[in-house]
Amino acid sequence: MSRYSVFAIVREGLRHHTGWPRAWASPEPRARYDAIVVGAGGHGLATAYYLGRNHGITDVAVLEKGWLGGGNTGRNTTIIRSNYLQDPSAAIYEKSRALYETLSQELNYNVMFSPRGVMMLAQTEHEVRGYRRTAAANALQGVETEFIGPRRVKELCPIMNIDGPRYPVLGALWQPRGGTGRHDAVAWGYARACSQMGMHIIENCAVTGITVEGGQVRGVDTTRGPIGCDRLGLVVAGHSSQLADMAGFRLPIESLCLQALVSEPIKPCMDVVVMANTVHGYMSQSDKGEMVIGGGTDGFNNYTQRGSHHHIEETLRALVETFPMLSRLKMLRQWGGIVDMTGDRSPLISKTPVGGIFVNCGWGTGGFKAIPGSGWAMAELMAKGEPGPLAAEFSMFRFREGRFIDESVAAGVAH
């Protein structure tokens, strides 16, 4: 495939952009592959990419029941941060954030990473103590964060009302090297790189069954015929429990809808990401000028990908005191994604009871920020059969062993 560059843009401009090749191939599935990754979202494509880049495994098929990046990857709010409390969480999210910084250059595809900074507001004394604790933990973990006061918060985000009568801003946990990226571009960049390595990305190919013989995976049944493999990675977010059921085991996750919305485009007024856990909302401004707004998950298990009126009301009611300008904006569109939540709100990157089957799920509300680090760790697990340092603590068996990684505040509420 051709290399993207300013010279390529000039060349194609002179010939009316008729010479651009397909970004990735669309092959027919073969009867067998060394490894199959189910799920062509960010995590699945990153897994396939690092299987080839780090471990030399390129006989790989990535199966997607719909279109590439059409699940949670295309439905999230693109926030990237690593200011988590627990050591295993901080390690994998910081690895991911660091990989994002050079991802455009590595993939030769602009993922539009914008290190604009992320602040998590402290609007109660309890949050002040909690974020000071997190800042201290991050210092020990090598994650660059700091606790800042109300005046600095106002300087970073002038449109904010820090003197709200119910929820005044008492400070914030600030990560200056956090930010946002373009969700579609991340998936497309990884897909293009996988295709260049000879991997098969097969869209409109739903898995309908998993073949297991003698406790070992032998392949999958799909809507495009059976496909054999020795290694199978399940990377399908909210649908992970359904595929696990096909293989004969259960996962400690539940699926819920997480909703978000964007306003009409307005002039630039906010160049940071702000999360407010006390009132349960968060906001950033996209490159197109839309205010990207979200809150928490639905209060009941479901697989819907639609929005609902009560979510709009609850989230905007929570944010309008801190951001009064929201009251004058019109909503442009709303959507939902299916998130997979574990009991401790930390992910699973794990072997399973079936030999050769590995699972990557449970990212809950924090999936997009983890894509590069998640793919790096999952690829190592699939290639070696044992987890590396990044994935070692995220076994699905930790719940029966009592080894929780409790991120219920950092991951279960904020994003």
CA dihedral 250, 251, 253, 256 (to 10 degrees): -60
| Residue 217, H or E segment | strand 216-222
Q: How far apart are CA 181 and CA 78, in angstroms?
A: 6
Query: What's the chain's Rg over C-alpha atoms?
Result: 21
Structure tokens at 328: 């004058």
Cβ 339 vs Cβ 66: under 8 Å: no
> Would you say 294 and 307 are in contact if contact means Cβ atoms under 8 Å apart?
no
What is the value of pTM for the model shown? 0.95
| Residue 409: per-residue pLDDT | 61
Residue 355 is given by DSSP the state: B
Task: Name all domains of the chain by residue range, CATH numbers in brackets.
Answer: 32-82+85-108+183-252+344-401 (3.50.50.60), 118-178+255-342 (3.30.9.10)
Number of helices (H), then strands (E), belonging to the chain: the values are 11, 19
CA gap 82, 197 in Å, rounded: 30
How confident is the model at residue 297, as a pLDDT? 84
Stretch (H or E) spanning 149 = none
Dihedral in degrees, nearest 10, Cα atoms 401, 402, 407, 409: 150
The residue ranges of DSSP E strands in 19-103, in sequence order, are 35-38, 60-63, 79-80
Q: Give Cβ neighbours of residue 7 (< 8 Å, ≥ 6 apart).
A: none
Q: What's the token pair of residue 14?
A: 């002179």
**Which residues are CB-contacts of 83 (< 8 A; sequence separation ≥ 6)?**
90, 118, 120, 134, 138, 143, 145, 173, 175, 178, 410
State the residue for tokens 């199966």: 63
> Among 20, 21, 189, 40, which residue's Cα sits nearest to residue 102?
189
How far is residue 162's CA from residue 380's CA, in Å, rounded to a whole number? 45
How high is the pLDDT of residue 412?
43
Q: What six digits make up the tokens of 390?
A: 């990044």
- The answer to whether the beta carbons of residues 172 and 122 sit under 8 Å apart is yes
Q: What is the pLDDT of residue 414?
A: 44
* Cα–Cα distances in angstroms (integers) from residue 372 to residues 42, 60, 154, 402, in the given order: 8, 18, 32, 28
Which two three-digit tokens encode residue 38? 């189910």
Bridge-based pairing of strands 79-80 and 179-180 is antiparallel
Q: How far, rounded to the nearest angstrom, does the alpha carbon of residue 83 sit from its chain's CA centroid?
A: 15
Any residues with CB less than 8 A from the CB of 138 and at least 6 apart, and which? Answer: 83, 90, 144, 145
DSSP state of 114: B
Torsion of CA 193, 197, 202, 203, to 10 degrees: 10
Helix (H, G, I), strand (E, B) or coil at 92: helix
Distance CA 301, CA 386 (A): 32
- How high is the mean pLDDT in each 10-residue block of the chain (415 residues)? 87 91 93 98 98 98 96 92 95 97 96 96 95 96 97 96 92 97 96 97 97 97 97 96 96 93 95 91 94 87 83 86 93 91 94 97 93 98 97 96 82 46
- Specify whether the CB–CB gap between 262 and 241 falls below 8 A: no
CA angle 303–326–74, rounded 5-degree value:
35
**Which of 64, 77, 92 lies closest to 194 in space, CA to CA?**
64
Residue 278 is predicted with a pLDDT of: 87
Q: Are the CB atoms for 359 and 348 separated by under 8 Å?
A: yes
